Structure 1
């Protein structure tokens, strides 16, 4: 486990913040900690029990016995959210989502895991799926999740956190902006924005996403 800690005491009158990486890249703790350090230097005050959005994920700050603020992230598969110590998944998913958007020369447009998407009745059980994003507004992420075979108009709202917990394959694509689409069919992926598209047949990152644990 990698653990990094800020050194605010005596400088900003702010509790030290601790970021741990129980798994994943050790260097991931540094940019997470830098985010908090920069915010504190600019006058932000973080408090125990507060949640902070990073990428599409939420981080929870919990006070330790020594008065520091420990960073925790959501555990997937549990609804409502159960928090676990560290920021490993947050960092990995942030980097992967940025990288996917870059394949189409786009800036990521991060939703929040608390926002909703619309899912078709067969989306959770089909091996193939399609994702389409409209403009986000309020609690809506703009995402529609469906299948090629879907004939129903009985879609329902679900939080992105619930959807991702059951279909983690969607996570790398959630930060693609409005007017984007994703098609997963027979183990291959195609991402599109307007008339521009990239497929896993010719793109190494998309190919790796289908064959690895980049987001777990």
Structure 2
């Protein structure tokens, strides 16, 4: 008898194209070990999908989020909603994420969602691992990464400056997928906002399992 498997696929709604470039490969690395640690040998984790509201998109962000979730409901089992924190992540979640989740629940009351809110910008999560810079800039690169990336007021500008100082002439946003594929998860776990995101992601996996009638 074939054993039934838990299926997971994230639909990611992000603020901009560069956020998708970074977060999609990062999610593809995070999901399998999180799922396997809770449901060993019984999980199928598909590649995460970038989602958006189909055209013509609603003007209100909350309605765009809801429309994107409805559009990909049959393909995804949980949805990650990203917003930059702009220095006040709690406020960003209340204003930029929660209304969209509430709107989506008018159609799908049991939708499983995870907020993804860096303290200021996603780029802060790219400033934790010197080895990624050495992969991109050369093994001798010595970028002066900030000791507390989430305290950087403008992490996007910090990232751009560090790459330019190391000799990179390409648009930094073209490199975001490399950071998502390579940045150390252990280094990311030193950041409170990332730890909160990973914890919420683990709880979302359990919620999906319950919806699929799995114990635990």
Same fold (TM over 0.5): no
TM-score (norm 1): 0.25
- Greater share of residues in strand: 1
TM-score (norm 2): 0.25
- Greater share of residues in helix: 2
**More contact order relative to length (CA 8 Å, sep ≥ 6):** 2
